[in-house]
Amino acid sequence: MPTCRHCYSVYPREQFIHGNGPRSQVCVRCGVEKGLVTEEEVASLYNNSTANARFSALARRWSPLMWLSVLWTAWIVFLNDVEPWGLYTLILLALFSLVVPLYMFFFSSKHMAVMARLTPEYERPKGH
């Protein structure tokens, strides 16, 4: 994958603008920021609303794991030796730990659909 010569980021080929001279090896974001192309010309640009929507979809996808680790940490620190609630919450946490991977597995296709919907349409021109 090529590297942008302005921001030194590595992106797939469709994230680069086309052209020679100042437009060669420039990613779409740097192209828009430096005025080499307009936002309408580059179909593969992730604008702010798309980027925010993708970020929130990712957060929704991975938040159960974050909550699980927070709850396990809370149990280890606070509830470990409280009788009898330590045992009850341990059973609940074990159940959640078993259910969360299944939940994430069954909703992975929905997440992939959301991410596909939030990926800008782009058709690579011939020769690129």
Nearest approach, Cβ of residue 33 and Zn ion (Å):
8
Q: 51 or 59: whose CB is closer to Zn ion?
A: 51
**Residue written as token pair 């709850």:** 71
Q: 46 or 75: whose CB is closer to Zn ion?
A: 46
Q: 46 or 72: whose CB is closer to Zn ion?
A: 46
Q: Which residues bind Zn ion (CB under 5 A)?
A: 4, 6-7, 27, 30
CA 116 and chain centroid, separation: 12
Contact status, residue 18 vs residue 125, Cβ threshold 8 Å: yes
3-state DSSP call for residue 60? helix
Q: How far apart are CA 17 and CA 7, in angstroms?
A: 14
Orientation angle between helical segments 85-106 and 48-74, nearest 10 degrees: 150
Please compute, for residue 85, the number of CA atoms within 13 A of its CA located in the half-sphere on the CB side: 6
Q: 4 or 42: whose CB is closer to Zn ion?
A: 4
Nearest approach, Cβ of residue 15 and Zn ion (Å):
9
Nearest approach, Cβ of residue 112 and Zn ion (Å):
27
Nearest approach, Cβ of residue 78 and Zn ion (Å):
47
